[in-house]
Amino acid sequence: MALNESVELLDGGMGRQLSRMGAPFRLPEWSALALIEAPRFVTAAHEAFIAAGAQLVTTNSYGVVPHMIGAARFASDGARLAALAGQLARDAAGRASAGHPGRVRVAGSLPPLFASYRPGLFEPGAAARILEVLVAALAPYVDLWLIETQSSTAETGAALAAVRHTGLPAWVSYTLRDEQGRVAPAQLRSGEPVADAVALDLGRGAHAVLFNCSQPEVMDAAVRAAAAAIAQGPQPQARIGVYANAFTPEPVSDEPYAGISTFREDLDPERYLAWASQWVASGATIVGGCCGIGPEHIARLKAHFHG
């Protein structure tokens, strides 16, 4: 029996899924390398997550930023690559939704613009210029914005301002401090309390607040803090979501990351479902996966939540 059929299922981690499928994959380009060299793999990854049960697919635009594909390539080709990421996701969603409008939606990924997990590297002026390119290129293809893996409210504030003119719903998703299994109090990687960030972003127009690219252990405290902030705020209908990763803990640092993170071995689909059930019980209505969470995990979530 389904626990809660109102739970909306996101996809899983695109970058590692591409790697598993044999797509071109390396740092610094990450998931953008497949977009550049072999976009058919991006299509196949979207289709795998949809077949598993994802109701929302995320554009493969996470790596389409200057620090990953290079400043020169972003200037010459960033808009085209972002538009391609949007088109591939929209095409996959459209095929899956044939005869069932809206069955699969598309989220436009707006990633960290300077480095993941590094809030101290944020540059407001440069952020606005990068966001202008990404938003214009993705807007024709997406149903909503997913401002994801954000480490500070400064990052989300810039992105929310950049998408406001589109009129599309905006979801913000934070990555949390999770070193050594840190749980309470729930904090962004910048050290800002989750409750304060949620209240601020709802006031800035966010329609949902999610938590991603952190260990499962730290997510429930964040969901509870978000639920309390929403209950006290002007948008009681605002939604909460979680899509955790399978990484080992990342240290707190503003130094650029040096390599590809390693995975834990204890997050099989059944164990991930146990965590997801806890998040839903605490108030989450959007659930999916981040790095290392594949179609097999999404399929297990679907079997449970949607019967």
- Considering only the C-alpha atoms of the chain, give the largest distance between any 2 of them, rounded to a whole number of Å: 53
Q: How confident is the model at residue 1 (pLDDT cuts 50, 70, 90)?
A: very low
pLDDT (mean) for 91-107: 92
Distance CA 154, CA 171 (A): 15
Q: How confident is the model at residue 190 (pLDDT cuts 50, 70, 90)?
A: very high
Q: How much is the pLDDT for 202? A: 96
Distance CA 183, CA 101 (A): 40
> Which two tokens mark 225?
């803090």
Higher pLDDT, 258 or 224: 224
Other C-beta atoms closer than 10 Å to the C-beta of 51 total: 12
pLDDT (mean) for 55-72: 98
Q: How much is the pLDDT for 255? A: 57
Q: 79 pLDDT exceeds 70?
A: yes
Report yes or no: 136 and 108 within 8 Å, Cβ to Cβ: no
Q: 182 pLDDT exceeds 80?
A: no
Q: How much is the pLDDT for 253? A: 55
Q: How confident is the model at residue 183 (pLDDT cuts 50, 70, 90)?
A: low
* Percentage of residues in the chain having pLDDT higher than 70: 93
Nearest partner of 228 among 257, 195, 261, judged by Cα: 195
Distance CA 55, CA 191 (A): 32
CATH topology of domain 8-305: TIM Barrel (3.20.20)
Residues with Cβ within 8 Å of residue 15, at least 6 apart in sequence? 25, 30, 31, 62, 63, 291
Characterize the bridge pairing of strands 170-174 and 208-212: parallel
Q: What is the pTM (predicted TM-score) of this model?
A: 0.94
Q: 2 pLDDT exceeds 50?
A: no
Give me the residue label for tokens 């803990």.
Answer: 249
CA distances from 142 to 145, 152, 155, 286 (A): 7, 24, 21, 18
Residue pLDDT, tens place only, 196-251 = 999 999 999 999 999 999 999 999 999 999 999 999 988 889 999 999 999 877 66
Report yes or no: 230 and 240 within 8 Å, Cβ to Cβ: yes
Preceding amide of 295 cis, omega within 30: no
Q: How confident is the model at residue 3 (pLDDT cuts 50, 70, 90)?
A: very low
